[in-house]
Amino acid sequence: MSRQISAPRGTRDLLPPDTAAWSHVEAVARDLARRYAFERIDIPLFERVELFARGLGESSDAVEKEMFRVSGARGGSEEGAEWALRPEPTAGIVRAYLEHGMHVRPGPLRLTLIGPMFRYDRPQAGRYRQFSQWDVEVLGDPGPAIDAELVELASRFYREVGLSGVVAKVNSIGDAACRPPYRQALVDHFTPHIDRLSDDSRRRLAVNPLRVLDDKELDPELAATAPRSADHLCDACREHFDRVRGLLEALGVPYEIDHRLVRGLDYYTRTAFEFVVAGREGQQRALGGGGRYDGLAEMLGGRPTPGIGFGLGLDRTIIALDEQGVAPPSGGPLVAVVGFEDDHADRLRVAEALRDAGLAVRPDGTNRKLGKQLEAASKAGATWAAIVGEELRDGRIGLKNLATGEQESVALSEAAARIGG
Ligand code: HAM
* pLDDT for res 111: 98
Res 78 pLDDT > 80: no
pTM: 0.94
Nearest residue by C-alpha to atom 25 in ligand 1: 88
Contacts of 153 (CB under 8 A, 6+ apart): 32, 36, 136
Q: Cα(289) to centroid of ligand 1, in Å?
A: 6
Q: Which atom in ligand 1 lies closest to the alpha carbon of residue 121?
A: 19
Whole-number Å distance between alpha carbons of 84 and 68: 5
Q: Cα(288) to centroid of ligand 1, in Å?
A: 6
* pLDDT for res 64: 84
Strand order in the sheet with 46-48: 46-48, 83-85, 68-70
Q: How confident is the model at residue 62 (pLDDT cuts 50, 70, 90)?
A: confident
Please give the helix or strand (H or E) that residue 100 lies within, else none: none
Interval 110-134 mean pLDDT: 96
Question: Ligand 1 pocket: which of 150, 281, 316 to mutate (most atoms <8 Å of CB)?
Answer: 316
188-219: pLDDT as tens digits = 999 999 999 999 899 989 888 999 998 888 99
* pLDDT for res 259: 93
Task: Tally the residues of the chain.
Answer: 421
Q: Which atom in ligand 1 lies closest to the alpha carbon of residue 274?
A: 10
Res 279 pLDDT > 60: yes
Q: Within 10 A of 29 (CB to CB), how many other CB atoms are there?
A: 23
CA angle 259, 264, 269 (to 5 degrees): 65
* pLDDT for res 359: 96
CA dist 275 → 23, 159, 323 (Å): 21, 12, 16
Q: What φ, ψ does residue 368 adopt, rounded to 5°?
A: -70, 170
Res 152 pLDDT > 70: yes
In DSSP terms, 68 is beta-bridged to 85
Q: How confident is the model at residue 341 (pLDDT cuts 50, 70, 90)?
A: confident
Res 338 pLDDT > 90: yes
Interval 124-139 mean pLDDT: 96
Q: Are 388 and 339 in contact (CB under 8 A)?
A: yes
CA dist 317 → 19, 106, 133, 215 (Å): 13, 33, 10, 23
* pLDDT for res 344: 96
240-271: pLDDT as tens digits = 999 999 999 999 999 999 999 998 888 999 99
CA dist 205 → 179, 185, 190, 220, 325 (Å): 14, 11, 8, 17, 42
Q: Which of 406, 403, 360, 407 is nearest to 383 (CA)?
A: 403
Res 107 pLDDT > 90: no
* pLDDT for res 61: 86
Res 361 pLDDT > 80: yes
For the chain, what is the mean pLDDT?
Answer: 94
